[in-house]
Amino acid sequence: LGVGDAKCGMDTTFSDIEELAQHCRFRDCRHEKETGCAVQEAVRDGRLPERRLLNYKKLLAETAHAKRREETARKKQLRSVERKKNPVRKKQYKAE
């Protein structure tokens, strides 16, 4: 599955966490120790199992890692194409 597929699956699989996150005080809340985090509040009062939040965070990290790998591969492929098009710049790419 691609990164986009994983994100779509997360929205479905973790819809409860996504819904809680809508009520966080800050839009960019990481659900760690921020004040006003609705997700952490749900864990504290027992509405959300801590294990579920940990699984959510783990999948987020894996998705971010896969996205970085895809981006790195895309850049590498682009450099390869550019090298073939312009052999004069080949030395510049070796320096990078």
List, as one string, the DSSP characters of 16-53: HHHHHHTT-SSTT--SSS-TT-HHHHHHHTTSS-HHHH
Give the model confidence (pLDDT) of 45-70 as tens digits.
999 999 999 999 999 999 999 999 99
- CA distance linking residue 9 with residue 15, whole number of Å: 9
Count of positions (residues) in the chain = 96
Query: Domains plus CATH for the chain?
Result: 3-95 (1.10.40.50)
pTM, two decimals, is 0.68
Q: Helix %, strand %, coil % for the chain, to 5? A: 75, 0, 25
Query: Which residues of the chain fall below pLDDT 70?
Result: 1-8, 87-96
74 phi, psi to nearest 5 deg? -65, -45
